[in-house]
């Protein structure tokens, strides 16, 4: 088994707010991230696929295809978007890095031309990242 990781970057804005909670409670839990006008990040996405190396091509997966799939499924919908306003997964779901990584996993799982998605890692900043492995 060989693990292949491809990176991509996207920039997006978001804010954290739970409409079921009072403004004071939202402010207490989310602090600065509760600013209703939002704020943004340069996110870095790392997608790791796992597989056997094909004898003929020497590839686990064609990187060009992986790049295209990541662009089509993830980057086009998220780059330079407001996550709360424009991305369907966050209509009723707070766009934390945890939920963003899970949403990206769900967008990619089963769409990698038969390659096995191993890990999605999303860096919100250099000092904060989330990994998901599709564990229930």
- Which residues of the shown chain bind another protein in the complex (CB under 8 A)? 16, 18, 20-21, 29-31, 93-99, 101-102, 105-106, 119, 126-136
CA distance 72 to 108: 10
From 9, 25, 39, 80, the catalytic residue: 80
From 33, 82, 86, 118, the catalytic residue: 33
Neighbouring residues of 61: CB distance < 8 A, sequence distance ≥ 6: 4, 49, 51, 112, 113, 115
The verdict on whether 82 is a catalytic residue reads no
Smallest separation (angstroms) from another protein to the CB of 64: 28
Polymer length of the chain: 136
The verdict on whether 41 is a catalytic residue reads no
Nearer to another protein, 13 or 93 (CB): 93
Among 3, 38, 20, smallest CA distance to 93 is for 20
Which residues does the annotation mark as catalytic? 33, 80, 124
């Amino acid at each position: 088994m060989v693990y292949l990781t491809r990176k991509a970057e996207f920039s997006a804005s978001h804010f954290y707010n739970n409409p079921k909670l009072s403004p004071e409670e939202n402010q207490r839990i989310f602090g600065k991230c509760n600013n209703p006008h939002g704020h943004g990040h340069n996110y870095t996405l790392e997608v790791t696929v796992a597989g056997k190396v094909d004898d003929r091509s020497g590839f686990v997966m064609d990187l060009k295809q992986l790049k295209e799939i990541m662009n089509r499924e993830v980057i086009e919908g998220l780059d330079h978007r407001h996550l709360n306003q424009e991305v369907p997964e966050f209509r009723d779901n707070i766009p934390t890095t945890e939920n963003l990584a899970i949403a990206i996993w769900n967008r990619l799982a089963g769409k990698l031309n038969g390659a096995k998605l191993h890990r999605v890692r999303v860096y919100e900043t250099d000092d904060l990242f989330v990994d998901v492995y599709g564990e229930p």
